[in-house]
């Protein structure tokens, strides 16, 4: 079974500052890792995913994440945030032969002007 | 850009009543999923569906739940006799294959009174 931990429920950041949203996972099998974003009153939108290959993956809206197998982490970063990045961010994992995604509790990114 | 749609956006029902939540997946997708998110908690996998049968289900998906693809476009989740604890946001998702990205709909907020 897999599990995902997002330690920060809220992260306040000033506009144009860098941000890192933390995600750690546990799994006994190889995993695929995902970050989804949920804007207010909308569904979950894929930001980026790691399936294999390069451990640094780039996604939409200037986000990137690095897969670190030894630390079982997949932290999300953006060098300069914008007010429009205010949203809930979910880390998710899919392991082995499972169909379903296992999600973390989410991190609410709050951009302060 | 094609998207997953869900109806209704909100549903209020009395405990013990049956509800049917509807989803229209992206047209060339073959895998369909239901997830739920109880307020303040994680997004949880309920069930996946492929080739007109359940592919995988979680322990949450008990006999009160059923899924169906009644025609070529709709994918439904039925809760036979709703309980207070079924109050949640229900998300539908679809993908071209189990390895590919799951695209989520905007959700149906279900409130059981």
For chain B, the domains span 5-112
Nearest by CB to A43, from B55, B101, B104: name it: B104
- Rounded to whole angstroms, the Cα distance separating A91 from A105 reads 8
**Quick one: pLDDT band at residue A74, thresholds 50, 70, 90?**
very high
Task: Identify from B42, B57, B58, B60 which residue to disrupt to test chain A contact, counting A C-beta atoms within 10 A and taking the largest count.
Answer: B42
Whether the pLDDT of residue A57 is over 90: the answer is yes
Mean pLDDT to the nearest integer, B34-49: 93
CATH class of B5-112: mainly beta
Task: Please state which of the ranges A26-30, B73-77, B103-107 shows the lowest mean pLDDT.
Answer: A26-30
Cross-chain residue pair A44–B104, CB shorter than 8 Å: yes
The Cα-based distances of A48 to A2, A92, B58, B82 in angstroms read 19, 11, 25, 36
Contact B45 A36 (CB under 8 A): no
Interchain pair B58, A98: CB under 8 A: no
Would you call A95 an interface residue with chain B, using a CB distance cutoff of 8 Å?
no
Per the structure, the complete domain to which residue A69 belongs is given by 3-112
pLDDT digits (tens, 9 = 90+) for A15-52: 999 999 999 998 877 789 999 999 887 889 999 999 88
User: How many structural domains compose chain A?
Assistant: 1
Which pLDDT score is estimated for B77? 98
Q: Can you give the pLDDT at residue A98?
A: 79
Which residue of chain B has the CA closest to A48? B101
Which tokens sit at A3? 């599990």
Strand-pair category, A73-78 with A19-21: antiparallel
User: CA nearest B31 in A: which residue?
Assistant: A99
CATH of the domain at A49: 2.60.40.10
How many helices (H) and strands (E) are present in chain A, helices listed first? Answer: 0, 12
């Amino acid at each position: 079974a897999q599990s995902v931990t997002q330690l920060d429920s809220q992260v306040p950041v000033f506009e144009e500052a860098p941000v890192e949203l933390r995600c750690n996972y546990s799994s006994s099998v190889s995993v695929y890792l995902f970050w989804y974003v949920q804007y207010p009153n909308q569904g979950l939108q894929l930001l980026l995913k790691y399936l294999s290959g390069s451990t640094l993956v780039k996604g939409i809206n200037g986000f990137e994440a690095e897969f670190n197998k030894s630390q079982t982490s997949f932290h999300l970063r953006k060098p300069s945030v914008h007010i429009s990045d205010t949203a809930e961010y979910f880390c998710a994992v899919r392991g082995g032969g499972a169909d379903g995604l296992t999600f973390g509790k989410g991190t609410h990114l709050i951009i302060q002007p | 850009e094609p998207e997953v749609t869900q109806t209704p956006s909100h549903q209020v029902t009395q405990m013990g009543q049956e509800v049917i939540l509807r989803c229209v997946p992206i047209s060339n997708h073959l895998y369909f999923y239901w997830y739920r998110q109880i307020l303040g908690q994680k997004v949880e996998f309920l069930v996946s569906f492929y080739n007109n049968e359940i592919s995988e289900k979680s322990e949450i998906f008990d006999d009160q739940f059923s899924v169906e693809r009644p025609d070529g476009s709709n994918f439904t989740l039925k809760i036979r006799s709703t309980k207070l604890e079924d109050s949640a946001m229900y998300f539908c998702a679809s993908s071209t294959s189990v390895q590919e990205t799951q695209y989520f709909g905007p959700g149906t907020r279900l409130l059981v009174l």
